[in-house]
Amino acid sequence: GEETSVKGKIEFFQETEYEATDMEFSLGGLVGAGTYHIHRMPVSEHLEFPCEESTLGTVFDPYNVGEVTSPPPTPGTPDMYAVGDLSGKYGRLDQLSHLDTFHNDSSLMLFGQSSVLGRSVVIFRKHTARWTCATVERGYAPSEARELRAVASFHHPNGYAWGYIRMTQLIHFDGSASDTIIEVNLKHPGEHDRNFTQNHNWAIYVNPVGVDATVKVLHTRCTAAGYLWNPYYTQLADPLNHDLYREECGPDHPLRCYVGDLSGRLGTIDIGGRKRVFSDPNFPLEGTVSAMGKSIVILDKNRGPDKFACANIEPDKDTIKYVNVRRTPKFIVSQFLEDVRRVMGIPEWLLTVDTRRTKILHGGACTQLLVHFKGPEANKLEQDFSRLLSTGRLESPSLYIPGYLYPSNRKSRLSYKLCGADNEKGKLDVHIFHIR
pLDDT in tens, 111-151: 998 999 999 999 999 877 899 999 999 999 999 999 999 99
Q: Are 317 and 375 in contact (CB under 8 A)?
A: yes
Beta strand 197-200 with 130-135: parallel, antiparallel or unpaired? unpaired
Tens digit of pLDDT for each residue in 333-390? 999 999 999 999 999 999 999 988 899 998 889 999 999 999 999 999 999 999 999 9
| pLDDT band, very low/low/confident/very high, at 77 (cuts 50, 70, 90) | confident
Overall average pLDDT of the 272-276 stretch: 94
Write the CB contacts of 332 (distance below 8 Å, at least 6 apart in sequence).
none
Instruction: Point out which residues pair with 39 in neighbouring strands.
Output: 59, 120
Instruction: Quote the pTM value.
Output: 0.91
Q: Are 40 and 58 in contact (CB under 8 A)?
A: yes
Tens digit of pLDDT for each residue in 17-44? 999 999 999 999 999 999 999 999 999 9
Taking the C-alpha atoms of residue 273 and residue 421, their distance in angstroms, rounded to an integer, is: 43
Q: Is the pLDDT of residue 422 over 70?
A: no
CB atoms within 10 A of CB 104: 12
CA nearest to 252, candidates 412, 53, 17? 17
Domains and CATH numbers, the chain: 7-136 (2.60.40.200), 145-315 (2.60.40.200), 318-435 (3.30.70)
Taking the C-alpha atoms of residue 156 and residue 298, their distance in angstroms, rounded to an integer, is: 15
Question: Which residue type sits at 199?
Answer: N
Question: Which residue type sits at 17?
Answer: E
| pLDDT band, very low/low/confident/very high, at 431 (cuts 50, 70, 90) | very low
* Dihedral over alpha carbons 311, 156, 401, 263 (to 10 degrees): 0
CA nearest to 62, candidates 115, 5, 130? 115
Q: Is residue 147 within a helix (H) or strand (E), and if so which, with residue range?
A: strand 145-154
CB atoms within 10 A of CB 239: 12
| pLDDT band, very low/low/confident/very high, at 69 (cuts 50, 70, 90) | low
- The per-residue pLDDT for 68 is 60
Tens digit of pLDDT for each residue in 311-334? 999 999 999 999 999 998 889 999
Q: Is the pLDDT of residue 212 over 70?
A: yes
| pLDDT band, very low/low/confident/very high, at 423 (cuts 50, 70, 90) | very low
Average pLDDT score over the chain: 91
Instruction: Point out which residues pair with 372 in neighbouring strands.
Output: 320, 352
Q: Is the pLDDT of residue 1 over 60?
A: no
Taking the C-alpha atoms of residue 357 and residue 57, their distance in angstroms, rounded to an integer, is: 24
Question: Which residue type sits at 234?
Answer: T
Taking the C-alpha atoms of residue 209 and residue 161, their distance in angstroms, rounded to an integer, is: 14
Write the CB contacts of 88 (distance below 8 Å, at least 6 apart in sequence).
35, 70, 71, 73, 74, 76, 81, 82
CB atoms within 10 A of CB 424: 8
- For 126-189, give the secondary structure using H, E and C: CCCCEEEEEECCCCCCCCCEEEEEEEEEECCCCCCCEEEEEEEEEEECCCCECCEEEEEEEECC
Overall average pLDDT of the 182-200 stretch: 93
- The per-residue pLDDT for 434 is 42
| pLDDT band, very low/low/confident/very high, at 427 (cuts 50, 70, 90) | very low
Q: Is the pLDDT of residue 299 over 70?
A: yes
CA nearest to 27, candidates 6, 2, 51, 5? 6
CB atoms within 10 A of CB 364: 9
